[in-house]
Amino acid sequence: MAGIGPLTQDWEPVVIRKKAPTAAAKKDEKVVNAARRAGAEIESIKKSNAGTNRAASSSTSLNTRKLDEDTENLAHDRVPTELKKAIMQARMDKKLTQAQLAQMINEKPQIIQEYESGKAIPNQQIIGKLERALGAKLRGKK
């Protein structure tokens, strides 16, 4: 290192500061009280729906009024009586239990119970499986 002059540092000083407070931190009670003590201006705004469990647009809108005025009774289709009886009769003719029939068509026994009691929503795929397993026509004209 002979012949080289004195070493000098040419770096800029680095200053590390805290981040500016977030909006939530500005609303903190401690911060607000400290600002009051320091004499700073504090603005408070009352929100119209503050503290309620209602949405901002809770007033009756056009869509809700349409729904309220709609008197149409919407219900799912149920298994017709003819189909219930046809399934039961075909199953009895083959001497099958509901569980055995359900296993044949790869469905739960509860499905067969619902179809025979009339509580099920008709599914054409399941009815088709039942027709093939029982060897009887369940839909349409006989």
**Residue 122: exposure state from Cβ atoms within 10 A (0-12, 13-18, ≥19):** middle
Provide the number of structural domains found in the chain.
Answer: 1
Output b/e per residue, 56-73; b: 16+ Cβ within 10 A. eeeeeeeeeeeeeeeeee
pTM score of the predicted model: 0.49
Does residue 96 sit within a domain? yes
Per-residue pLDDT of the chain (142 residues; tens, 9 = 90+): 566 767 777 788 888 887 777 777 777 788 888 888 888 888 777 776 666 666 655 555 667 777 777 777 777 888 899 999 999 999 999 999 999 999 999 999 999 999 999 999 999 999 999 999 999 998 876 5
Does residue 104 sit within a domain? yes
Does residue 74 sit within a domain? no
Q: Which domain holds residue 130?
A: 81-134
Q: What is the CATH number of the domain that holds 98?
A: 1.10.260.40
Output b/e per residue, 101-117; b: 16+ Cβ within 10 A. bbebbebeeebbebbbe
Does residue 61 sit within a domain? no
Return all residues near 91 (Cβ < 8 A) that are at least 6 apart: 98, 101, 112, 116, 134
Dihedral sign for Cα 29, 33, 39, 42, please: positive
DSSP character for 94?
T
